[in-house]
Amino acid sequence: MQIVSIDELEPGMVLGKTIIGNQGQVLLRQGVTLTAGYIEYLKKYPFAAVYISTGRDVVAEDIISDETRLQAIAGTREVLSQVKGGADLEIKKVNEVLIKVIDELLLQDNVMINLVDLRSFDEELFSHSVNVAILSVLLGIEYDYPRSDLRMLALAALLHDIGYLFVPEDQARQHVEAGVEFLGKSSVEPAVLKPVLHHHERWDGAGYPGRVEQTEINEFARIIHVANVFDRLSANNRYPMEEVIEYLMGKSGEIFDPECIRRFIKCVSFYPVGTPVELNTGESGVVVGSNKGFPTRPVVRIEQNMYGHKVEPGYTVDLLQKMTYFVKRKLDGPSI
């Protein structure tokens, strides 16, 4: 699978991942062969790119199902749109969304982030809120939080940017206080307020709005901060995954809680499934799996040997088992 710009789509390409519309609806499902009509149809929506299959039998699984993600985006959009229109926060609806996300993540073993989230730009707040909730729960599971804490963390993460509904663009920093003020008047548990208030605080004390530091920062907020920045940088392929991870690691102990970064890195890979790579042995192939906790040591299916000859049907090398092997470089060209 590879990310292809909407403007570069051609008839005959096969969709590699279901496309979700700006109201949480399915526009086109994975496996559909694109026609000129489908491409024109997609251009009506504000997407930057989509996933296209390149024919390899490699599957990159999202961390939650399309159905659950669809329901979460649609539910979040409905609730936040009502709030923007002056309605009270429908907390029961919010909890329904989050319970499905939490239950699905808890049922999985060794879940890892393997895909870039491609989303409609005009629904950034809704998709971003859902993604930060998903990523925060994923990290909360790494902390071995009980289910009750995961629900509270997910609720704070989903609502962390709700203040943007009440402030103009040129006063963006005030969204934190605006969000806390609104939530304080709603029916959410008081424990949600501190994570929302602190989610832009930095480990070194240079954040906002209170310039608190280190362990003075609410622990849920530290998790949400990492998930928030990761999603902002990686969504729509803004920056390559390895650059995003390197940034998080480089800012550990400055912007982010070092322990939080250490746990988060266990959940992502420098080389997501489908990445074409060359090994130090001269062999090249495609990443078909990840080793949790070892972001630089993926499982690679070799498709070309050290002499440049194509290998049929190919063979698999697990870099966690072959410690003298390492990824020399990512290759240009198609992924999965």
pLDDT along the chain (336 residues), means of 10: 80 86 74 91 77 69 80 88 93 91 87 65 74 94 95 96 92 95 93 97 97 97 97 80 91 98 90 86 90 89 92 91 93 59
Co-location of 236 and 287 in the same domain: no
User: CA 76, 84, 94: angle at the middle one, nearest 5?
Assistant: 25
**CATH code of residue 8:** 3.90.105.10
* Residue range of the domain that includes 40: 2-53
On whether the CB atoms of residues 198 and 217 are closer than 8 A, the answer is: yes
**Assigned domain for 271 exists:** no
Backbone φ, ψ for residue 250 (5° rounding): -65, -30
**Assigned domain for 61 exists:** no
Secondary element (H or E) of residue 69: helix 66-84
Co-location of 291 and 192 in the same domain: no
Backbone φ, ψ for residue 190 (5° rounding): -55, -30
Q: How many CA atoms lie within 13 A of 87 on its CB side?
A: 10
Instruction: Kindly give the pairing relationship between strand 26-28 and strand 19-20.
Output: antiparallel
- Whether the bond into 146 is cis, omega within 30 of 0: no
How far apart, in Å, are the Cα atoms of 242 and each of 110, 133, 182, 307, 325?
20, 22, 37, 28, 19
Co-location of 37 and 73 in the same domain: no
pTM above 0.85, yes or no: no
**Assigned domain for 335 exists:** no
Number of domains in the chain: 3
Co-location of 280 and 199 in the same domain: no
Co-location of 110 and 174 in the same domain: yes
**Assigned domain for 336 exists:** no
Per-residue model confidence (pLDDT) at position 159:
96
Co-location of 245 and 203 in the same domain: yes
Co-location of 220 and 318 in the same domain: no
Q: Give dist(CA 335, CA 2) in Å, integer.
A: 5
Per-residue model confidence (pLDDT) at position 336:
47
Co-location of 218 and 173 in the same domain: yes
Instruction: Tell me which of 53, 77, 94 is where a domain ends.
Output: 53
Co-location of 174 and 89 in the same domain: yes
User: CA 240, 233, 94: angle at the middle one, nearest 5?
Assistant: 130
Which value, to the nearest 10 degrees, does the dihedral of the CA atoms of residues 55, 58, 61, 67 take?
40
Per-residue model confidence (pLDDT) at position 333:
55
Q: At what angle do helices 258-265 and 219-234 cross, to 10 degrees?
A: 50
Co-location of 225 and 77 in the same domain: yes
Per-residue model confidence (pLDDT) at position 313:
82
**Assigned domain for 59 exists:** no
